[in-house]
Structure 1
Amino acid sequence: MNAPIVLFGFKRARELSLTLDALKANYLAPETNLYVFVDAAKKPEDEPKVKEVHKLLDELTGFKSIYRDYAKSNIGCADSIIRGISYVLDRHSSAIMVEDDLITSPNFLDYMNQCLDYYKDKPKAYSIAGYTFPFKKPESYAYDAYFIPRHSPWGWATWADRWKSIDWSVADFDEFIKDKSRQAAFMEGGADLVRMLRRQIEGEIDAWDIRYGYSQFKAGGITVYPTVSKVQNIGFGQDATHTDIFNRYKTALDDGQKRTFDLPDVVQNTEYYKRKNIQQYSFATRFYNRLKTYAGMR
């Protein structure tokens, strides 16, 4: 049985429409149950935008079934996502998550379901990413997926047992932040991770994914990524989280022709891709991308 899709919306009807069109174009969409969660407006001026999203979703078809949950009051980004995924994973053994600023390839659901089935009994595989940077695949690399120690929230999937193990309070943060060796180990997934976790704990950001990634790290888990991206992020514009910055996440979206994937059997970090990922999240690369923003590049 195909894993359900958990879709999150808020106030961006235009982006959501593009996301829905791409999801409906997936080969497995008619055979897949869809759960939709929409947070309520935080400010009065956002209410018409949220109602526009409701109207779009009320008219939606193209899936095996559609469950709609429209919040009555504003929950907030992180809590809304945690609530929605928890609801679905209380009822299903796995799920595929999509937010309202993602374009998926036609074979996105094929890839996700095959990975969910293939790695369900391999607990070191903690999550499945749909997005990847456009890293050049080595000619000697035979697989359609690779592993690195960084969680990705852009079109992703997991299993109920992994999700229910997450400590959302990050109860051991004070101990962690004093341990330089553990911090260094966590940053094998990227030099930005410790800072993001600290900002979450200090209330500077409202993020669920850094907490998921930290719990994944503590459990010794890693994430499986596709060698060709099944997701493109379009959330770099008006009303977007990443408004008016250089989009360093542009990638080559899979053409969707391939529907059966060669997956690595051993769940361990893929050193070539791990090195490439560390380069992408290095301080030097992030500073260079900031300069591109200042130069007006988008």
Structure 2
Amino acid sequence: MSQYIAQSPLLFLVFNRPDVTQKVFLAIRDAKPKKLYIAADGPRTDRPDETRLCKQTREIFDHIDWDCEVHTLFRDQNLGCKEAISSAITWFFEQEEEGIILEDDCLPAPSFFRYCDILLEKYRFDTRIRHITGANHQLGRKWGDASIYFANQTHVWGWASWRRVWKDYDKDLINYQESEVEDQFRKIFSDRFVIEAWTNIFKEVKAGKIDTWDYQLAILNFFNNSLSVNPNVNLITNIGFRADATHTVNLQSPYANLPHENIGELTYPKYVLPEKAADYEVFRRDYRLDEKWEKHNLVRRRFKRWLKSKLNRKNA
């Protein structure tokens, strides 16, 4: 079977890791997208070796050897994760109505590109759908009989979307206030600890305590009551779990180097509704919900015993 040629524009976000960048670049080269956008943050002044690493990373793109329209956004100074990535995605969607986004450590399965192309076209004008992800964190569990399912959570390890979504992006969450969001999260989630987790994430992002860009996108998609398309197999292997990563430093994470598979012909669920339990499976693991509920119930049982003993003494 001939190699699939990606039809959608692609944004490749890179920084200072030439080894992982090279691996993902080779997967992109196999797909031969007709338009390739490359954005790279600049080196940090307090890291003496970073200038060399950034240079080596950018030199990889001297080897683009297919017919391709190339656009680059190479920063001279370091902007940091939040500013560099969010501004690069804005730059991309200023020029394209839709497209695919890959970071330097997100190694896609060959069928990821076809998957994104088909879904970008299918849901182009369906405003219920705001996000397409290639990452599947269900660790083998499938949801329904179709090759995709819908959820509310936004995974960004290999994804695709539209300008119509990104135009709402709010890097600093200025349109939302800390005093009101907990009540909104209560309308989305039923688990008290999930509500607590996302309320705390919101507060820390808004206060500038987390240098990231993706929580904002997830929160905006939650607040727009939107759906994300998810594959029922994992299409992205994150090869960046290691000490020099920005966020993925836990080598024991169940998502580290999670193998990817190819997805066959796409089939679709009958109902366009979110699999809430699929999101909860990830939250349960990521936010240690079982442990929190066990501790909560233990405290509650202790309180009940204490209250009962007080009442018994009072009635004695």
Q: TM-score, normalised by structure 2?
A: 0.80
> Which residue of the partner structure matches residue 123 of structure 2?
119
Q: Match for 1:117: what amino acid? A: E
Give the match for residue 269 of structure 1.
274
Match in the other structure for 1:137:
142
1:146-295 map, 5 Å: 146-174=149-177, 176-187=178-189, 191=194, 192-241=197-246, 242-250=248-256, 251-254=258-261, 256=262, 258=264, 260-264=265-269, 266-284=271-289
- What SS does the corresponding residue of 1:143 show, helix, strand or coil? coil
Q: CA deviation at 1:196?
A: 2.1
> Percent identical across equivalent pairs?
20
Displacement of 1:184 in angstroms is 2.6
> What stretches of structure 2 of length at least 5 have no aligned partner?
1-5, 293-316
CA contact (8 A) 1:9 1:37 kept: yes
Q: Does 1:72 align with 2:79?
A: no
**Equivalent residue in structure 1 for 2:23, among 18, 22, 37:** 18
| Deviation (angstroms), 1:30 | 2.2
Residues in 2 aligned to 1:69 and 1:179: alpha-carbon distance in whole angstroms: 35
Letter in 1 for 2:36: L
What's the offset of the Cα at 1:51?
A: 0.8
2:39 is aligned to 37
Report the TM-score when normalising by structure 1: 0.85
User: Cα distance 1:196–1:135, how it changes in 2: closer, same or farther (>3 A)?
Assistant: farther
Q: 1:53/1:215 Cα in 2 relative to 1: closer, same or farther (>3 Å)? A: same
Preserved contact between residue 186 and residue 193 of structure 1 (Cα < 8 Å): no
Q: Deviations over 1:210-238 (max 9, x none)?
A: 11111111211121110001101111113
Cα distance in structure 2, aligned partners of 1:210 and 1:65: 31
User: Which residue of the partner structure matches residue 54 of structure 1?
Assistant: 58
3-state SS of 1:18 partner: helix
The whole-number CA distance in structure 1 between the counterparts of 2:51 and 2:146 is: 46
Q: Which moved more, 1:193-202 or 1:62-71?
A: 62-71
Cα displacement (A) at 1:106: 0.5
List gaps (5 residues or longer) in structure 1: 288-298
Is residue 83 of structure 1 aligned with residue 99 of structure 2? no
**Larger deviation, residues 233-242 vs 105-114:** 233-242
Partner Cα separation in structure 1 for residue 64 and residue 181 of structure 2: 49
Q: Residue by residue, what CA displacement relative to the aligned partner does 1:239-286 show, whole Å, maximum 9, x if unpaired?
A: 1122244222143411x362x311336432024424433433343368
> Using the alignment, how far apart are the partners of 2:225 and 2:244 within structure 1?
36
| C-alpha distance in structure 1 between counterparts of 2:37 and 2:208, whole Å | 29
Shift of 1:179: 4.8
Write the distance in 2 (CA, Å) between the matches of 1:286 and 1:112: 37
- Decide which of 107, 111, 118 is 1:107's aligned counterpart: 111
What is the match of residue 293 of structure 1? none
2:254 alignment partner AA: R
Compute the RMSD of aligned alpha carbons: 2.4
| Distance in 2 between residues matched to 1:47 and 1:193, nearest whole Å | 36
Contact 2:29–2:64 at 8 Å: present in 1 too? no
Partners of 1:38 and 1:69 within 8 A in 2: yes
Distance 1:266 1:244 in 2: 37
For 2:214 and 2:54, the matched residues in 1 are separated by 24
Structure 1 letter corresponding to 2:52: P
